[in-house]
Structure 1
Amino acid sequence: MMQLTKAQRIVLIHHLPNTDAYLSTYPINNHSQPITNGDYYITDLNNSSDSDDSVYLFPILLEADGTPWYLANLFLLKIAIDNRDNYKDTRDIRKKASLLLDYKIFCESARGNNNEQAPIDLFDFKHSLKSKRPTWRYYSHLMHVEKPRPGLLNAKTGAVYQFYKFAATQPNIDLDLERVEKLTSFTVFKQTASGNLYRIDGEKRSQTVRTAEPAPVSIGYVRDEGEDLRPLFQKELDALLDALQTGEFEIDEKLIVYLALCTGERKQTILTMRMRHLKFFEDQYLSQKKMSYKLFANSQNGCDTKYDKPHILHVPAWLGEKIKTWAFSKKATERREKFKQKFGDIFNDDDMYLFLSPTGDCRYMSHLDPRYKMTLSPALGQVTRNLKYKLLRITGNKISPDFSFHWLRATFALLLYKGCQKLISEKKMLAGTELNHIRYRLHHAHQSTTENYLKLFSQTSELLEAQETFENVLFGDVLQNKDISDEVK
């Protein structure tokens, strides 16, 4: 009989309902729902007939002969149910399923000393030599044959150990986890950026390898919560601004770039802004000097932010007006109509994405989007990559090919730094307070991240040449001569 391939042994169930319900041959209460012509009934544990305990895009693993791998599927289902209130999608579960199947296939394909087939029994840990036990044989194979990168190796053995840990809780399975893998307790003390010590207790698995320390930050860059960013140099910024004034960019593309440059916000927040955010471009949110609007971005009003932290954006007044003009233009309205034709009325008018693609879909799917859990590959801001390629094509070699969209965030941070330095020199700001101001505007979770920005700016004189251009971008009239409303009608 022909054996199934690995890809054929992972079946995605697009909608798995009633994961938190009783199955019975009779109705338990008024909320019990008949299935299979009344032979069985399902009753939700919440005693509600309309609660959603569904899991979407759930992986089912198959044996080599196509029958379900019962125990592994129970393991994956438990992960999904236990984390249902917190999980945004099943990508982690699907990854774990793939890693676990790798182990299963390894055991099935094992050969003896004479190269004859000698499948490994997944639950045979009786051998006195640990090197002869299933998990240790797999670990040795990974170390000496497959040789994946350290992080992936640890993930592979970690998924296997979690599976056995679950299996040990099941009836009729007699399993000594000490023979599966050795755990060692540890305690470490770490120091925060402010100097405070905190303690971490945990257990280290024996079937792991040491992962490399993060690479040092390159000269001229700053590490901002996992990303290495560099502010644009003067000539690069000039080239960027010149390119934005050409007809190569759509109006909404320009607005996306200017929002990043003028607020320092990340793409996930900019691209998940909704029509309801236009209310922040009204007089009540305008600063005293009428130079900027205060825009609140958080999960309550539909925006995705890093670590789900609430953000406050200070959007230049001229940019806010241009965004309003775009939002009610003919082109933007047509895109919202395309969205409704494709997906129905899943959003009211206020919840509709502000920056839709020309095809009428979101450019970054918010984890709050009702389609998110059901979408295999949600949009994650690919438009910013397209903007980069378009920008590099237009500007030639005037901008580094390493440029990324979030460099605009570092460029914005440089403006803040120079603005603070100017205020300090004019005695309008106390020296030392710029740290908190910049941290507040960039929404940094850790003060040390902001400190790294200040170190970079104070040490690299070439970066400081861009002050006048930055101020022109933020507070000047770069777009004032662009009649956006005429272009998008």
Structure 2
Amino acid sequence: MQLTKEKRIVIIYHFPHTDAYLSTYPINNYSIPVTNGNYFITGLNNSTDSDDIIYLFPFLLEADGTPWHLANSFLLKLATSNNKDVSYKDTRDIRKKASFLLDYKIFCENTKDNNNEPAPIDLFDFKNSLKSRRPTWRYYSHLMNVEKTKPELLNARTGAVYQFYQFAATLPNVDLDLQRVETLTSFSFFKQTASGSLYRLEGEKRSQTVKIAEPAPVNIGYVRDEGEDLRPLFQKELDALLDALQTDEFATDEKLIFYFALCTGERKQTLLTMRMRHLAFFEEQYLSQKKHSYKLLANRQNGCDTKYNKPHILHVPVWLGEKIKIWANSKKANERREKFKTKYGNVLNDDDMYLFLSPTGDCRYVSHLDPRYRKTLSPALGQVTRNLKAKLLKITGNKVSPDFSFHWLRATFALLLYKGCQKLIADKKMLAGTELNHIRYRLHHAHQSTTEDYLKLFSQTNELMEAQETFENVLFGDVLQNQDIPYEEK
């Protein structure tokens, strides 16, 4: 009896010593004998959480339950070839490729002929002169015409299969012509740098891919920020949000999460991976020149996840920084940290403890730098923001668009910042034209064009100009400063 797909993927939780050498003889005096001295391992890293340890490794089985050796060697190669610039081996992408590869094998095993009789395909039989009769091309046709797979998914599935054959072709016991597996077409294109200069890039296009549709045009009133369409809250929506944050429906830390996003424009992965060590930035030496805000540094070195791992400088209003400190030292926050320690032990020291833990003592976004990240099948990645949205819409009714997402707070911050810049320009305290770089700096945009899209939206859409009268009043003044945030929940 053949195993189902689910039973043909085994997850090996802990896979140590992947960077060590396995040999039939001792390579040096540090070689360690295993299996009664038949083999030797050399080059062990004895750290309990070193980079040569892989967690949650997918191991594939044949239909009869025996190991699919070639596929597993391929997957291990992917895992051990991870970028050494990162401090973890993340197998989520490898697990996805393992699933795609097993789909392909099962297709080949279950293929039938015109008489509906079993006619399994040999994965390495590419001798047919008609490419349409070769294994990968038959699978590609099946995805296109039978499963009608979406372009992005089709390209990912055929890409995993081709990558497997690329690996197989490097082995001495495999005779394989990759050109018969799939045809590659070379191409070149030019890319523009931020300074406007052009540079040439070379690439290859696989034949078993389909064109992905061009992104839909951005709707009027929205801005595309690095792949996501956002719009600022209208004034009545912003008022409804601020009113909602005055109710008891939101817990203290939930209110602070909203205010932090609204006042800094920061993405959820950075906000929710802030640690207790970041409280040190809410001190006098980190005050801005006019003492309106604290300068908080968020980067990999102090535990924060940021997009593209870029270091961010966040300007946190003084009133908000003070309220965050009070929350962090409250009885309720301390209880949550104790719950975390009870669950996970001393995996994090006191400084590395997450600032915004859930009521159950769990973090709301597992940082890539968290030692538990690569040991967890489905790490928390900010799902709490969906709960915050649901709670907000329940309180505000139809006063806030049902399309609202937490990331809209980023666009709202950008609008308020723009309005503040316009006031400074009008008061001759800022040179016209310099607002672009200022807004780009505060939003940490990788591309200037993204910031330009924001400015076009704000300058051309009158309806969105219903924001706050001044930038200072919104971010650093009375409007938010006087919000009542209790420090002990009822």
TM bin (shorter chain): over 0.9
Pick closer, same or farther for the CA change 1:426–1:83 going to 2, 3 Å: same
Match of 2:180, SS? helix
Q: CA RMSD in A?
A: 1.8
Structure 2: distance between partners of 1:164 and 1:391: 50
Deviations 1:23-57 (A, max 9, x none): 346655454445446664422266x6775511111
Q: For 1:1-400, what aligned pairs fall within 5 Å after superposition?
A: 2-24=1-23, 28-29=27-28, 31-36=30-35, 40-44=39-43, 52-83=51-82, 85=84, 86=86, 88-192=89-193, 194-400=195-401
Give the conservation status (yes or no) of the 8 Å contact 1:415–1:471. Answer: no
Deviation at 1:187, TM superposition (A): 1.4
Give the conservation status (yes or no) of the 8 Å contact 1:318–1:480. Answer: no
Give the conservation status (yes or no) of the 8 Å contact 1:272–1:365. Answer: yes
Larger mean CA deviation between 18-27 and 152-161 belongs to 18-27
Structure 2: distance between partners of 1:38 and 1:168: 32
> Is 1:407 aligned to residue 408 of structure 2?
yes
Structure 2: distance between partners of 1:440 and 1:475: 19
Deviation at 1:197, TM superposition (A): 2.0
Deviation at 1:483, TM superposition (A): 5.8
Match of 1:100, SS? helix
Give the conservation status (yes or no) of the 8 Å contact 2:255–2:485. Answer: no
> Is 1:462 aligned to residue 463 of structure 2?
yes
Deviations 1:97-154 (A, max 9, x none): 1111111011101111211111011111111111111111111111211110111111
Structure 1: distance between partners of 2:65 and 2:361: 40
Structure 2: distance between partners of 1:216 and 1:465: 25
Deviation at 1:194, TM superposition (A): 4.9
> Which amino acid is the alignment partner of residue 368 of structure 1?
L
> Is 1:451 aligned to residue 461 of structure 2?
no
Deviation at 1:165, TM superposition (A): 0.9
Structure 1: distance between partners of 2:56 and 2:43: 21
Deviation at 1:460, TM superposition (A): 1.0
Structure 2: distance between partners of 1:426 and 1:236: 28
Give the conservation status (yes or no) of the 8 Å contact 1:322–1:484. Answer: no
Structure 2: distance between partners of 1:195 and 1:117: 59
> Which amino acid is the alignment partner of residue 109 of structure 2?
E
Pick closer, same or farther for the CA change 1:484–1:35 going to 2, 3 Å: farther
Tell me the residue number matched to 2:484.
482
> Which amino acid is the alignment partner of residue 53 of structure 1?
D
Give the conservation status (yes or no) of the 8 Å contact 1:22–1:44. Answer: yes
Structure 2: distance between partners of 1:128 and 1:30: 54
Deviation at 1:481, TM superposition (A): 6.0
Where does the alignment leave 5 or more consecutive residues of structure 1 unmatched? Answer: none
Deviation at 1:190, TM superposition (A): 3.5
> Which amino acid is the alignment partner of residue 66 of structure 1?
G
Deviation at 1:290, TM superposition (A): 1.7
Structure 1: distance between partners of 2:323 and 2:359: 19
Give the conservation status (yes or no) of the 8 Å contact 1:16–1:56. Answer: yes
Match of 1:397, SS? helix
Give the conservation status (yes or no) of the 8 Å contact 1:293–1:315. Answer: yes
Deviations 1:236-282 (A, max 9, x none): 00000000000000000000000000000011001000000001000
Pick closer, same or farther for the CA change 1:65–1:95 going to 2, 3 Å: same
Where does the alignment leave 5 or more consecutive residues of structure 2 unmatched? Answer: none
Give the conservation status (yes or no) of the 8 Å contact 2:82–2:89. Answer: no
Give the conservation status (yes or no) of the 8 Å contact 2:187–2:204. Answer: yes
Structure 1: distance between partners of 2:249 and 2:481: 15
Deviation at 1:294, TM superposition (A): 0.5
Deviation at 1:204, TM superposition (A): 1.1
Match of 2:295, SS? strand
Structure 1: distance between partners of 2:316 and 2:128: 67
Larger mean CA deviation between 447-456 and 285-294 belongs to 285-294
Structure 2: distance between partners of 1:256 and 1:7: 39
Larger mean CA deviation between 386-395 and 130-139 belongs to 130-139
Larger mean CA deviation between 66-75 and 86-95 belongs to 86-95
Deviations 1:205-252 (A, max 9, x none): 111111111111111000111111100001100000000000000000
Match of 1:105, SS? helix
Pick closer, same or farther for the CA change 1:481–1:258 going to 2, 3 Å: closer
Q: For 1:431-450, what aligned pairs fall within 5 Å after superposition?
A: 431-450=432-451
Match of 2:146, SS? helix
> Which amino acid is the alignment partner of residue 322 of structure 1?
K
Structure 2: distance between partners of 1:430 and 1:423: 8
Structure 2: distance between partners of 1:34 and 1:352: 41
Structure 2: distance between partners of 1:233 and 1:49: 53
Larger mean CA deviation between 309-318 and 475-484 belongs to 475-484
Larger mean CA deviation between 127-136 and 433-442 belongs to 127-136
> Which amino acid is the alignment partner of residue 79 of structure 1?
L
> Which amino acid is the alignment partner of residue 376 of structure 1?
L
Pick closer, same or farther for the CA change 1:287–1:84 going to 2, 3 Å: closer
Pick closer, same or farther for the CA change 1:229–1:52 going to 2, 3 Å: closer
Structure 1: distance between partners of 2:383 and 2:398: 22
> Is 1:419 aligned to residue 420 of structure 2?
yes
Structure 2: distance between partners of 1:465 and 1:184: 52
Give the conservation status (yes or no) of the 8 Å contact 2:417–2:471. Answer: no
Larger mean CA deviation between 194-203 and 22-31 belongs to 22-31
Structure 1: distance between partners of 2:127 and 2:26: 46
Match of 2:172, SS? coil
Match of 2:467, SS? helix
Pick closer, same or farther for the CA change 1:137–1:462 going to 2, 3 Å: same
Deviation at 1:472, TM superposition (A): 3.7
